[in-house]
Structure 1
Amino acid sequence: MSIAIDFPQSTLIPVNGVELEVFESGRENAGNPIVLCHGWPEHAYSWRHQVPALVAAGYHVIVPNQRGYGNSSRPDDVTEYDIEHLAGDLVALLDHYEYQDATFVGHDWGAAVVWGLTLLHPSRVNKVINLSLPYQERSDMPWIEFLELILGSDYYFVHFNRQPGVADAVLDDNASRFLRNLYRKNVPLLPPEPGMTMINLARAETPLGEPVMSDSDLAVYVSAFEKSGFTGGINWYRNLDRNWHLLGAVDPIIHQPTLMVYGEQDVIPKSEKLADFVPNVDVVSLDCGHWILEEMPKEANQAIVSWLARQTAT
């Protein structure tokens, strides 16, 4: 499946010991970089609605498939997907383009990477825009231990770690069905099913709610994951405890100007302490679920572009 015509062509760029598949637009705006970081199980193509708006706003837009995704490298060693490696890829990407710093935008797991990048390499990030996943205050115990205690062994973060390879195989065998069933909106609230959510989704015959994207757009994701498999992306989850240790000694405050965009219907809770850790934050809430980029692209663009304009004006 080829990428849709209006999305830029990709280039493989060697960075940090791997190759990243990078989609780039707005080179005429060189000197004003913005880097868009996708989540799980997403793809650089997730930002297709944002790229033209950001180019029009004067940005050099850089959209990597992060390690484990698309045609980017997929190292075998699980530890090569920790926050130091993921952040290091983005720093090396800036070095490739000869940029000292950039604005970074993240959705879902991409937001987690942008939060971590900003803590580990604050001089390389000038502004932060994150969607869906707010800053996560460090728990008293490692993340998987904490989540297992609170949510149990079937919670998918825990399952990915405690039963390595099990979910990967089910998702790989059912890539099309899993992605079709996952990318939905207005899903009715039902009592939780027994078992692991992501495996259940991969096996469910009938999707709930409504699709958030066209069949042709979904086909881009399906084609990518049928080629890459899901293990690379899932390995990000398998480093949550490692990341907990790696980030233990850094200054936990995000000092950069920040925009946090929530989906009002998202299952991810808003952060009540966001301003304690991100003092220069502005918050926007949109009336949608988790897939903000797919569900309300125009409103997301408006929120992002207008916020950026206000930062530039001050």
Structure 2
Amino acid sequence: MLEMPPLQFAQTNGIRMGYYEAGPKTDTPPVILCHGWPEIAFSWRHQIKALAAAGIRVIAPDQRGYGATDRPEPVESYDMEHLTGDLVGLLDRLKIDKAIFVGHDWGGFIVWQMPLRHIDRVAGVVGINTPHTNRAPADPIELFRKRFGEHMYIVQFQDPTHSADKIFNGRVEQTFDAFMRKPVPRSDTAPAEPPTAGVGASPRLNLAFPQMIANYDAKHDPRTPILSPEEKQVFVDTFTKSGFTGGINWYRNMSRNWQRSADIDHTVRVPSLMIMAENDHVLPPSAADGMEKIVADLEKYLVRGSGHWTQQEKPDEVSAKLIEWRRKRFG
């Protein structure tokens, strides 16, 4: 795979997890890179190379349901207890006491949960685009349905017939052609409403992603791709083999995660960095407003000119900030 270390495997939390590792083993905490949807460890290729070159041990797994990692059948096997447990099991397997967890998109939701559920295994947390929020006041799926309507992609993902999965599985190349592009300047200049369960998108955005993919034609898209043809092919080949259902099952546990988190203190008490992207329309910088109230030790950093795929759109800047923050906080 392009610019990636050799693929390795670890038995963790009842599954076989594929992961990539680079950099020297030292006494300082390693960095665990957690991808989002629809992505894989390959999304971190630039950061793996840069962090390893800076003398930092870095590990990037294909997470449960993705890429080279197992894809269990039961939907409840993808709840937050399993997703965070996978990372703890990976640390155990690699004989790592504590790590710095870095997450983008859905990976961000997971890494913010790590110090809430497994504080003894977490040295620090970095969220990229995805902020930490308090527990939603109601079931997040119902809040999304009320705010965005039935066509909002997360609401559609709850369909037991898996209609959205079928659209993505039948249009793999179209999916990555459509998603992996730099954004156009935001036309909606109104401030985003307060975030709901970590999503601060304006309700005026079109979030009917399955229908967007079904009708997508790259010839009429003015946006610039962020992937080379060779890089795009890695995603296409991987998801052609794995399908999208494993990753979508993470969304199918949002109600379950909410129901099972009522007794969890949502205050993060480890050194934390929030990297925001200026032009992310789904997770705008305003979604991170107020994080200081529930993240005791927080630094914020804005990547200007970047859309949602920040570590791939602005790889050098993101890598440099990760290296600088880690050295400042952990030596």
- What interval of TM-score do these two structures reach, taking the shorter chain for normalisation? over 0.9
1:301 counterpart (319, 326, 329): 319
Give CA-to-partner distance per residue, 1:258-300, whole Å, 9 cap, x none: 0100001111132221000112010000111111011100111
Match of 2:4 in 1: 7
Match of 1:97 in 2: 94
Match of 1:40 in 2: 37
How does 1:1-314 map onto structure 2 within 5 Å? 3-4=1-2, 6-29=3-26, 32-187=29-184, 196-206=208-218, 207-267=221-281, 268-269=283-284, 270-287=287-304, 288-313=306-331
* Aligned partner letter, 2:275: V
- 2:9 & 2:294 partners in 1: Cα distance? 36
Query: What is the RMSD of the two structures over their aligned residues, measured on CA atoms?
Result: 1.8
Contact 1:174 / 1:203 at 8 angstroms: preserved in 2?
A: no
Contact 1:171 / 1:199 at 8 angstroms: preserved in 2?
A: no
- 2:25 & 2:119 partners in 1: Cα distance? 26
- 2:81 & 2:155 partners in 1: Cα distance? 21
**Which has the larger displacement, 132-141 or 70-79?**
132-141
- 1:225 & 1:135 partners in 2: Cα distance? 28
Q: CA deviation at 1:202?
A: 4.2
TM score, norm. by length of structure 1: 0.94
SS at match of 2:257: helix
Contact 2:167 / 2:210 at 8 angstroms: preserved in 1?
A: no
Gaps of 5+ in 2: 189-203
- 2:236 & 2:132 partners in 1: Cα distance? 30
SS at match of 2:266: coil
Q: CA deviation at 1:32?
A: 3.5
* Aligned partner letter, 1:177: Q
* Aligned partner letter, 1:273: G
Q: CA deviation at 1:208?
A: 4.0
Contact 2:29 / 2:98 at 8 angstroms: preserved in 1?
A: no
- 1:154 & 1:305 partners in 2: Cα distance? 40
Give CA-to-partner distance per residue, 1:180-226, whole Å, 9 cap, x none: 11101133657969782233124301234110111111110111000
Q: CA deviation at 1:312?
A: 2.5
* Aligned partner letter, 1:52: K
Contact 1:38 / 1:47 at 8 angstroms: preserved in 2?
A: yes
Q: CA deviation at 1:116?
A: 1.5
- 2:28 & 2:231 partners in 1: Cα distance? 31
* Aligned partner letter, 1:196: A
User: Percent identity, aligned pairs only?
Assistant: 36
- 2:214 & 2:93 partners in 1: Cα distance? 38
TM score, norm. by length of structure 2: 0.89
* Aligned partner letter, 2:290: K
SS at match of 2:97: coil
